[in-house]
Each structure stands twice: as C-alpha cells, then as structure tokens.
Structure 1
C-alpha cells in the first residue's frame, strides 16, 4: 500500500479525533488572520495612523497573539498524539520504522494545516470586518467599513503558520522518537498519579500553598502604600511568585488531600457520584496541577489586564472632567472672542469665574501621623486658593469662617495613594508671610483646570473672602489669576460650539511665569479631551479585549479538550456501570460534580487573583472600579460556563454510547 493511500485511510479512520485538532487549527488561523487583516484595513489605518503608540500596540498584540496560538496548537497536538499512541504502536508492530511513521503523520499534519489555513483565512476575512466595526464603534468613529482582502496579511499569515507547522512537526517527531513501543500502548490510559496515602509533610505543603496565596493577596493590598513604594518592583515579584507558587501547591496537594479526607470520612461507603467525581480528581492531581495552575494564572492575568484597560476606557469621561471641569475653560482674559461668538449664535451657557491666588504649602501636613516620617512627602509646592464667594457659584451650600478652609479638587490616583485627613492645621507661606489654615473638609470635586494644577488632581484651597484679600497683600506675582468655566445649557449646541472654540483660538494660551518667561499652553475643551481619551484608550481596550478573548478561548478549549480525552479514557468504566444497572442520570450527577470542579475551581481562583491584582492599583488607570470589574468577570464566567456545558454534553454522549 502506498503512503498516500495509508494517509487517507488513517485520516478517515481517525476523523473523530481529527475534528478536535482541526478545530484548534481553524480557530487559531481565524483569530490571527482577522487581527492582521484588521491592521491593514483602510478605515482602521486612517483612525490609528495619527498615533505611533497605537501602531506599536497593534504590533505587540500580534506577537502576543501568536504566542497564545503557538501554546494552544502545541497543546492540542500533544493531546492528539497521546490519543493516537496505540495506533502508532501498532504501526511499529507491523514493521513500520519510526521514520516512516513520522513521514506518515507529517503528511497528515500538512494536509490538516493546509485545510485549516484555507478555512481559517476565509473565516478570518469575514470576521475581520466585524472586528473593524467594533473597533470604530469603541472609538466613536463614523465610517463605512468595507471588506478588503490584504495580500500583506495573507503573506504574513502564511509565513507565520508555516513556521508553526515546522514546530508542530518537530514536536510530533520528538514525541515518536523518544517513547518506547510498550509505553505507546499505555500512554492514553496512564493515570496521572495514584495517590495512595497522604503524609503529614504533604498536608503541610498543601497548607503552605493556601498561606502563600493569602500572603500574596495581603501584600497586593499594600503594594502602593507609602512605606512600600520604594521597593515596588521587588514587592511585585514577591507577590507574583507567592501567588503562582501557592496556586500550584494548592492544586498539587491541597485539593487531593481534601478529596481524600472526604472519601475517608465515608468509611468505604462511596456512592457512584463519589466514584465519578472525587476519585478521578484525586488521582489526576500530579499532571492536572501543572495545567490547572497555568490555566488559572492565564485566566487571572488576561482578566486583570482586560479589566484595567476597561477601567481606563470606562473612566475616560471622568478623567477628562478632572482636567477640564466644564465644557470650556478660559484662563486669564483669554477667550473673550469665543464668548462673543456664542452670543452671536444664540448659544446659551452658564459661566463661573474663579479668582486664583497662589500660596506655598506641603500637603504632607494632612497625611496620617504614621506616614509623615518620609522626607519625600515634605516637599513644598504651589497650591492655588479661591475665595468662598466664587466657590459658592458651583457649591451654594459651602460655608466657613476665619482661617477654616476646604481642600478640594483632590482626587484620582493621588487621593488613593496619599489620602489626606481633615481637621488638621497646616502652615502656608505667601511671600514672607506665614498663615495657618485649618482644613475642615477634603473633597474630590474638580473645579480648576489641569493646566493650573499641573496635570489635574492637584489640590485647591477654598478660603473665606476676607482671608483671600489678606493673602493678596503679601502675594508675589503668580502665574495664574483667573479662570472662567463655561457650561452649555443645551448639549445640542455642542457641535457648533466646538467649531467656534477652535476658530476663536481660545484654547491657545500664553502666560508669563514667576521667572518672567512666556510659555504657551493648549487648553482643550471637555469634549476634545474626552475624545482624545477615547481614541487613546479605545485602541487599548480593543486589543486587550481581543487578546483576553484569545486567552479565554485557549484556556477554556484546553479544559474542554482535556475533559474529552478523559471521557474517552473512562468509556470502559461507564460501560461497566451501565451494565450493572446504573441509569444515565445517576452517572451524570457525578459528572456534574466533576465538571463543576474542573471548570469552577480554576475560574474561581483566577477571578480572585485578578480581583486582588486589579484592586491593588486600579486607581492608576481610572476612577471607577466596580462596574468594569463586574462586567469583565461576568463575561469570563459566561464563556467558561459555555465550555462547561459543552463538556457535560460530550460526557453525556459518551455515556449513552457506552452501552
């Protein structure tokens, strides 16, 4: 028989195995080709070409995606080869050399790759338009997305998957050459490790895993504390190592120990549910610990990165408002022409004028007592004051007297990392004069432009009008003296107002600083700043969500493939159970318990990992945590549930066919 006939007969016989591997290949090609085609789409290029960071982000995401695909395909190929180990052993028994077997399987893999690449590129071509529409929607861009075939994407994909094919063939040849004939017949039925009894040492190691995870979670909550920021990188490495190491020890020892303890408490009276759930999990922990740890870590990392990106995107409007607390900000006497244009076009607006007076102070005086020792936080800087009468234009209920002050405009990551306390006295200087403020409240309400507060989030003092006038007597020439906040009464006038703002040049400001130098500033409108944030963060959330989807599909598929393999290995056991009288529903109860563990535990621990990782530094990315975190977690739970349902369905099919 010729090699070609043998190849086709082998492929026909193993079709039930091939579809699993074939799906993995098609899915990988579809993801990669659609993403690469997206980068060469004319509408997408017109959107991102203004940003070199976006282009670099797309390129970096392409490499990460290829790494995910490489890991996915190599695992699927390994599983596929393990399931065909007996067949390979039979080939050797009838006299075929390992070299001939390698050539046989190589031809099969080449045919599979060619078919998968063709189908995957076809699916990727059609799906790329959908992803392009999603991206433009996220960026709030209106554009007609056309379906264009990119020869550059085609060439890049062919080269990439040709390299992947070579790697897969090398893996396959290595697996065949390194194993003995006897091991091939038992490879698909090898138990991962039979746990006969547990020693006190194993119990201690399992408990240590829980301690390491708990320590990692605790350390993450202290990551950005003032005392630990100096060793930030070292602390991050320690947290990462303790969390990953603890996860492995929990899966390797703790889970098997718990399962064995439950089994021993039953004094040998095990139900069919226990046999099908507790025992298989306990006996497969050595190999499963590695894969479950990897899946858990990948789930935590991908969910954490996706959540942080979504936090930044979700907070784009709030971040813009912290920089531009009004539809338009006019500094000094700049923007009078813009106000005239608004009146000429009958655009109604509200106006709030703030007078500004600079003082020199250190907000470290408002830090908690146990955080005042570090000299880094005793540095003084310029802080602006506004009179109470001006502040009441936006907060009518505000009230104070004497040297009482309100510290406002203090929010974002500064407020999270360096929380200030009220009911403290602090000494400020104005020229040669010293004054003692009593801070009665600390608020995060933004009222002053980020240009004035040097980046946004900087504090502003609200003082009584009498105190403001007193400070003015001792004041040197400060950089800023006045701010006018404009808020449109109707958002329907926003488009026209944006054009007038640009035409009038109100956003371009020249100011003379305390040293007599003239500096130019560009004050964006709120809508302009919001769109700028959307364009920057929209590409980030799209790429991270795309990679998160790839990670999720990879981890979920690996779990699904593994459960399919275990179901085939346990087919004989189901046949015995059916023959001695157990109904399908009795067997399926144990399967439900087993799948709840195999999918639920890695997901639960992964969610906990991502939660504490995100909780430690979310404020560096945005202003809202709860909503983005819940949305991302719900998406992951839903997709994992789909894989769990598919896995249960496959087990049900195997059980029905076992009798």
Structure 2
C-alpha cells in the first residue's frame, strides 16, 4: 500500500502540474519576502548603520506585519487550490479510497511542495536580501558596502514559521475532506454563484444608500482634523473617525452588492433582449457572481485603500524631508547670540565661502483677530493674542531681495498648511501689536509660506517682516526682548562636506527663553544638512518598512484577484467551448471578457484610489509639506501593479478560450 500511495502521489503531482505553478508561486513568493526581510535584522551593514535599538525593533515589528500578510496570502491560495482539485478528491473517494487515505495523499503532496518551495524561496531570499539592504541604505543616504551574507537566525525563523503554517494547511485540508460530502466535492467547481434576483425598490434604495454612505464619509473626512473648529474635542474626533470607517466600509459593500448590480441590470434591460455575446460574457457574468464577489471585492478594496493610504502618508514624510529641514533651519548654518563664532573663524581659516545675515528677532505680543478669515473668528480675546516673531526688512534682504515695504506695512512669512490648520488668516488686513503705549496697527500686504526664522523661534505660528523704521520703534520698546540670530549660507555646494566636518567639531549650545520667560530650552549651533540627515534616519526606515509591506500587500491582493479570475476562467471553459462551436472567434469572446476584467480590476481600483485619497487628504499636513507628487507616485505604482495583474488575467482567459475547442 505504501508503494501504491507513493505512485499515486507522483501521478497526482504530474497530472496537476498546471495547477501547481500557481500554488508554488504563492509559497516561493511568501518565503522569499519573509526571509529577505528577516535577514535585514542580522545584516552587519544594516546593524552598523542603523544600530540595534528602536530601528531594530521597527524591523522586527515589520516582520510580524509581513507574517500576517504571508499567512493571509498562503491560506487563500491553499483554499483556491483545494477548490480547483475538489472534483479530483471526490473521484478518489468514488473509486474506493478512504477519506484518511486521501488526506494522507494530499498531505504528502503538500509536504513535498512546501519543502521544495521553502528551499527555493530561501535561496531567492538570500540573493534578494542584499538588494533590499542596498535599497534601505540608499534611502538613508548611508555610504556602506553590503555583502551577500547568510543568516542562520533568519533561516531558523523562516523554517519554523512555514513549517507551522504547513501544519495548519494540512489540518485545514483534512477538516475539509472529512466534513464535506462526496457529492459536494464533485460538484464544487460546477456550482454557480447565486444569481441576482429581480431588482425591486428596496434593492434600489440599498444601492443609493451605499453611494450616499461613501459620499458622506468623504465629506466627514474633509473636516476631520479642522483644528480651527472650537467644537473639535477628542471624543468628537473619535466619533467622527469611527463614523467614517463604518460609512466607508458599509457603503463599499452596498455599492458592490447592490449599486453595481442595479446599474448593470438597467443596462441589460435597456438592451431589450438583444444582447450580444460580449454583453453576455460581461454583464451577465458579473451579475451571476455578484453576491459572492461583493464581500471579497469589499475586503480587497478596503485593505488595499488602507495600505495605499499608509504608504502615501509615509512617503509624504520622506518626500518632505528637504523642505522640512529648510523650514526648521532656513540657512545652511544658524547661530544664536554670541555662540558659534568659533565655527565662523574655522570657516574663514579653511576658506569656506559663505554669506552672513545678522538678524534681530523680536518676540512681540499681537492681536490677530482682524487677520482671521470670517468663518475662523473666535469668541474670546485671549485666543487671538499671540506671541509672534518680528524681523526687519533689511536683516533678511538677501532672502527676499524683491520685497519693498512702506512705513506701516508688514509681510507675513512661515505661514504653511499646518499653521493654516491652527489659525486661518488672510492678507490685505491689519494686525495690532501690543506696545507699552497701547496698540500699533500694521497693514499686512501678503501672506507667504517662505521661512526666514528657525523653528525654535516661530513658536508654531508665523513671522512678520516689518519696514525698518517701524521695526526699530518696536525694538526700542521696553516690553519687547530681542535676540540675535546669525544665518550663514554656503556659496559653493561642493564645500558642504568639508563644512559639515568643521561644524561637527565646533558645535556649541545656548539657552533660549520661551516667550513667557518662565523656562528656557537648550539648542546648539544648527546645521540644515545635519538636521536633514537626522530626519532621514528617523523617516527612512519607516518609508522602507511601509514601502516593503505595502508593496507585498498590493502584490498579494493583486495575486488574489488574478487567482480568482483563473478559477472562474477554468469554470467557464465549457461555455467558451459552446461559443467556439457555434462560430464565435477568440477575439469576439475576448471582447466580452475584457469588459469583465475592466470591472473586476478597474472598479475596485477606482474605489480604492478614492478611499485612499480622501483618507490622506484629511490629515496629510501632519506628515509633511508635499502632497501632490507623493500621492501621484504611490497611486501610479498602485495602478501599474494592478494593470499588470489584469493583463496577466486576460492572457490566461485567452489561453483558456483558445484551448476550449
């Protein structure tokens, strides 16, 4: 019997070779991803450059999230594989094999497949791990050589994880064989999904509700983080977030389950019974499977949108590093009071070419009520009185050479999108400065995002540039205290590395008082490049992990859609055989199939993009300064990836149609 079982295993594997490539791809892909990612934690170059603290913990947390994706992918692939072999399993029992023997047969096949896939996946992961390590160091702008290293720890973790997963798969298969009847096994692939019944007013209403839910969820997301709204409390914020989640998920399901089917039903009725073969293969097929597809398409759409949203926000942070550094430190180097002048002497000694701006900063109390836009007006005087920074036009002439202010005029800088969330103001309005003699009014000519003052001094608000004579008046007011800031810009970018070495050797610190005067904070002589690299170290690992996981998840969901279409193509082969026999060509049949693929891939893609856009739009200002470019890049990758799977799916359908006759 053992010899017979071995022969059955070999014959079964030869017979199912066309199905195994799908299953093997899922396994090898999963092992490769997991081993490659886990290996990063033990790569000497990575450990040396990012350390073994929080960065290592982040990689470890990422490996757990990747494990979740792998489990989801492998279990789905196994379920699909078993569905495709259900008739074969039923026939084994029909010829007299017991359920136990069939279970042993499938288990041995799985063990052979999994062991082979683990070996192949580890070998591929061994090669690709170096590529991923190089990408990570490139993102972090670390100049380090990455060797092709083998990690025994990563190998043990990978083997243990996938052997445990193999046990789960074998148990899942055994339970399915024992619980499902022989008739069900034989007819599984032939059972059609439930047809959409005749639509009535209630179905129309549910379809409309789905669209309304999504629309209202989008509307709530536009005002989710409106900090200028005094009614926005933590409880209200939580309520709105939960509401948006429920509306979006529920609305998406209703759209797939009722809205789309209702629209297609109207299209079908408009044909008045004169439906072409393309209509039958697209409209009718989609409606035929609508009930079973609604939940899976909803799940894929929501998870894909969530993944894309997280990936976009991470990329916004990474993409905005240069801009954030320029905003925080507007000059290449910034010094405070009389500190840092050793740095200047060293620059002169080493012939570093630079320009220098000596800036007097005034912390002045001002009433900004008259600057507020109408719908942002607040009800109390205290909240409209702010301590803001004031500088003179001559001190920043090099930064704003075309700025010309008359007496009594001011120019606001440093008013970016994040500050706009805190307080909404507009130009061509006056601002009142509080002085020892009363209030002084200055007319604001323009509001700009340009940064002239380091973040340490902006206090989270904007800075006002004043005409020189009026600035001098405020400077002499006993209520206002000033502090000197020295900004230096390198004239030659090629001298940056040399300047950074000098900076590292001459860093000093200074105590800076808060506007209240109650406390102080310590800052050092600042370097924009050093600040940028620090940000890069913090955000680079985040964007790598989210990018890796996001790409893995998008490939996983795309593969699931592809696998699903392969199963449907095999199930519909008999239909294509009939159509070919009565004279329809492959190209005529493919026109209808292309329409169906446009729905199966295009519709979830469109809804997922819309969901992620509104999710990102609601809070992107807290992650960076750039929205359009990161959003277009991540969505472009998403579209290209899903288009590839749609093309592969259409190619598989063409092969099935061609083989149908």
Q: TM-score range by the shorter chain?
A: over 0.9
> What does the per-residue CA deviation read over 1:22-60, in whole Å, with 9 as the maximum and x for residues that have no partner?
11111111110110012211111112216x332232122
Contact 2:367 2:385 in 1 (8 A): yes
TM-score normalised by the chain length of structure 1: 0.95
| Cross-structure match for 1:251 | 256
| CA spacing shift, 1:511–1:204, aligned 2, 3 Å | closer
SS of alignment partner, residue 192 of structure 1 = coil
Contact 2:376 2:423 in 1 (8 A): no
Within 5 Å, which residues of 2 pair with 1:117-266? 117-225=118-226, 226-227=228-229, 229-230=232-233, 231-266=236-271
Contact 1:352 1:394 in 2 (8 A): no
> What does the per-residue CA deviation read over 1:165-219, in whole Å, with 9 as the maximum and x for residues that have no partner?
1222232223223322221122112222112311111111011111111111111
Q: Given the alignment of the two structures, is residue 458 of structure 1 paired with residue 461 of structure 2, yes or no?
A: yes
Q: Given the alignment of the two structures, is residue 579 of structure 1 paired with residue 584 of structure 2, yes or no?
A: no
Task: Report how far residue 367 of structure 1 moved.
Answer: 2.7
Partner Cα distance (2:382, 2:167) in 1:
57
| Cross-structure match for 2:607 | 605
SS of alignment partner, residue 144 of structure 1 = coil
SS of alignment partner, residue 608 of structure 2 = helix
TM-align CA RMSD: 2.0
| Cross-structure match for 1:646 | 648
| Cross-structure match for 2:559 | 557
| Cross-structure match for 1:566 | 568
> What does the per-residue CA deviation read over 1:463-511, in whole Å, with 9 as the maximum and x for residues that have no partner?
2223222223333473x51111111111011111111222222x52244
| Cross-structure match for 1:85 | 86
SS of alignment partner, residue 445 of structure 1 = coil
Partner Cα distance (1:576, 1:590) in 2:
15
Partner Cα distance (1:516, 1:94) in 2:
89
TM-score normalised by the chain length of structure 2: 0.95
| CA spacing shift, 1:518–1:205, aligned 2, 3 Å | closer
> What does the per-residue CA deviation read over 1:293-323, in whole Å, with 9 as the maximum and x for residues that have no partner?
1111122111111111111111100000011
Contact 1:430 1:474 in 2 (8 A): yes
Contact 2:261 2:287 in 1 (8 A): yes
Task: Report how far residue 430 of structure 1 moved.
Answer: 4.1
| Cross-structure match for 1:318 | 323
| CA spacing shift, 1:253–1:331, aligned 2, 3 Å | same
Contact 2:428 2:445 in 1 (8 A): yes
> What does the per-residue CA deviation read over 1:628-648, in whole Å, with 9 as the maximum and x for residues that have no partner?
111111111111111111111
List runs of 5+ in structure 2 lacking aligned partners: none
Range 70-79 or range 159-168, more displaced: 159-168
Contact 1:74 1:168 in 2 (8 A): yes
SS of alignment partner, residue 481 of structure 1 = strand
Q: Which residue among 535, 538, 547 is the counterpart of 2:537? A: 535
Partner Cα distance (2:155, 2:658) in 1:
44
Within 5 Å, which residues of 2 pair with 1:111-122? 111-122=112-123
Partner Cα distance (1:427, 1:292) in 2:
57
| CA spacing shift, 1:259–1:502, aligned 2, 3 Å | same
Partner Cα distance (1:260, 1:237) in 2:
33
Partner Cα distance (2:55, 2:381) in 1:
35
Contact 2:253 2:298 in 1 (8 A): yes
Partner Cα distance (1:224, 1:640) in 2:
31
Contact 1:224 1:616 in 2 (8 A): yes
SS of alignment partner, residue 217 of structure 2 = helix
Q: Which residue among 626, 634, 637 is the counterpart of 2:636? A: 634
SS of alignment partner, residue 74 of structure 2 = helix
Task: Report how far residue 385 of structure 1 moved.
Answer: 1.1
Q: Given the alignment of the two structures, is residue 49 of structure 1 paired with residue 54 of structure 2, yes or no?
A: no
Contact 1:557 1:643 in 2 (8 A): yes
Contact 1:564 1:651 in 2 (8 A): yes
Range 70-79 or range 257-266, more displaced: 257-266
Task: Report how far residue 432 of structure 1 moved.
Answer: 7.2
Q: Given the alignment of the two structures, is residue 414 of structure 1 paired with residue 416 of structure 2, yes or no?
A: no
| Cross-structure match for 1:475 | 478
Partner Cα distance (1:109, 1:414) in 2:
58
Contact 1:433 1:474 in 2 (8 A): no
SS of alignment partner, residue 458 of structure 2 = coil
Q: Given the alignment of the two structures, is residue 288 of structure 1 paired with residue 293 of structure 2, yes or no?
A: yes
Partner Cα distance (1:581, 1:442) in 2:
71
> What does the per-residue CA deviation read over 1:562-605, in whole Å, with 9 as the maximum and x for residues that have no partner?
11101100111111111111111111111111111111111111
Task: Report how far residue 253 of structure 1 moved.
Answer: 1.0
Range 146-155 or range 3-12, more displaced: 3-12
| Cross-structure match for 2:343 | 338
Partner Cα distance (1:523, 1:212) in 2:
53
Partner Cα distance (2:511, 2:314) in 1:
35
Contact 1:362 1:378 in 2 (8 A): no
| CA spacing shift, 1:229–1:99, aligned 2, 3 Å | farther
| Cross-structure match for 1:428 | 433
Partner Cα distance (1:593, 1:296) in 2:
19
Task: Report how far residue 440 of structure 1 moved.
Answer: 2.8
Partner Cα distance (1:132, 1:268) in 2:
60
| Cross-structure match for 2:498 | 496
| Cross-structure match for 2:391 | 386
Task: Report how far residue 333 of structure 1 moved.
Answer: 2.1
Range 595-604 or range 172-181, more displaced: 172-181
Partner Cα distance (2:434, 2:616) in 1:
40
Range 257-266 or range 427-436, more displaced: 427-436
Range 168-177 or range 72-81, more displaced: 168-177
Task: Report how far residue 421 of structure 1 moved.
Answer: 1.7
| CA spacing shift, 1:104–1:376, aligned 2, 3 Å | farther
Partner Cα distance (1:520, 1:595) in 2:
61
Contact 1:276 1:591 in 2 (8 A): yes
| CA spacing shift, 1:140–1:23, aligned 2, 3 Å | same
Q: Which residue among 271, 274, 278 is the counterpart of 2:279? A: 274
Task: Report how far residue 518 of structure 1 moved.
Answer: 6.5
Contact 1:574 1:658 in 2 (8 A): yes
| Cross-structure match for 1:520 | 522
List runs of 5+ in structure 1 lacking aligned partners: none
Partner Cα distance (1:87, 1:323) in 2:
67
SS of alignment partner, residue 452 of structure 1 = helix
Partner Cα distance (1:217, 1:474) in 2:
50
Partner Cα distance (1:362, 1:48) in 2:
46
| CA spacing shift, 1:518–1:413, aligned 2, 3 Å | closer
Partner Cα distance (1:503, 1:170) in 2:
63
> What does the per-residue CA deviation read over 1:524-583, in whole Å, with 9 as the maximum and x for residues that have no partner?
301111111122111111111111111111111001101110110011111111111111
SS of alignment partner, residue 356 of structure 1 = strand
